[in-house]
Amino acid sequence: MAYLLFKMDLPTSRTNQFRQGKLHVMEGNTSIKSWTATSGYAPYQCLNDQSTRAKGPIPSCSKVGITNYSVSTSPINHTNTPGIRSNFYHILNSRWSEGRIFVNGIARSQFGIHFDDRSPGSAGCIVIRTRSEWNDCDQYLKAYRQRGHNRIDLIVQYNGSSPLLPQSQVFTVQQPTSGQNQPVNTSITFSGTAKPEVSKIIALVGPGGPFKIAELTNVGATWRFDYKFLNRGVNRPFTFQAYNSSGRLLQTISFRLTIS
């Protein structure tokens, strides 16, 4: 099955140079089609600005701890919207099926694939640089939908980075355990262990959002926090992320709890 791959080379810090890459259609390891594309705009097109709202590039998959994004093949008509003036294909977080993602605890959202009407660059969307290439991209996504595919996977890579690989275990969530029922309006204790390389743990919960319920810094060999949920929910998704002192994502743990 085909998937999309967006690749671009980015510096570590800000420069005034405008940067662009390629959005590929991949079958296995082979690119069968590509278009010149970009994300973010100068001087915010750098690795350190992946968490910068409305300016920086769409975060790489490895930065947010996912193997891929998911792109809806049912477009939203924005042909009369300045800055877009084309169909808009919504980019979703594949883990949450929502448009919002977190980078170092900062939420970013409203990503999509569309024409670069605000040339050059975007507020974080992946934009196709020329109208002729956009028309070809738009036609491809329409044809993909007509073949019965409601979504297509998207991998975002910078500087030749590899896709997200299986992660080494650097922390654990020992309590509560996945699948448990926990009481509403009562403090729930979350706890676990961490290796020395972990300096920060972020806890997120859905559906919606996801919403940050804790950010632990100066993490030691064991960690814990208490949180009281005010609303009930069945199989609510939780994601815990461990970061090192440089802000690099080390490991993600996902599980579900019912709050009743």
Residues 95-119 pLDDT 10s: 655 666 777 777 788 899 999 998 7
pLDDT over 70, % of the chain:
94
Residue 46, CA atoms < 13 Å, CB-side half-sphere:
12
- Judged against a pLDDT cut of 70, whether residue 162 lies above it is answered with no
According to CATH, the topology of domain 169-257 is: Immunoglobulin-like (2.60.40)
Model confidence, pTM: 0.67
**What percent of the chain is modeled with pLDDT above 90?**
70
10 Å CB burial of residue 9 (0-12, 13-18, 19+) is exposed
Mean pLDDT of 11-27: 95
Q: How far apart are CA 76 and CA 129, in angstroms?
A: 19
Instruction: Report the pLDDT value the prediction gives residue 96, as an integer from 0 to 100.
Output: 55
Query: Residue range 164-187: average pLDDT?
Result: 84
pLDDT at 98: 60
**Domain 1-156 -> CATH class:** mainly beta
Lowest-confidence range among 34-38, 84-88, 250-254? 250-254
* Domain ranges, ordered by start, for the chain: 1-156, 169-257
What's the confidence (pLDDT) of residue 163?
52
Mean pLDDT of the chain: 90
Residues near 139 by beta carbon (within 8 Å), at least 6 away in sequence: none
The confidence score (pLDDT) of residue 41 equals 95
Confidence class for position 166, pLDDT limits 50, 70, 90: very low
> Mind listing the pLDDT tens digit for each residue in 218-235?
999 999 999 999 999 998
Sign of CA dihedral 186, 190, 191, 197: negative
Q: What is the pLDDT of residue 164?
A: 47
* Interval 190-208: pLDDT, tens: 999 999 999 999 999 988 7
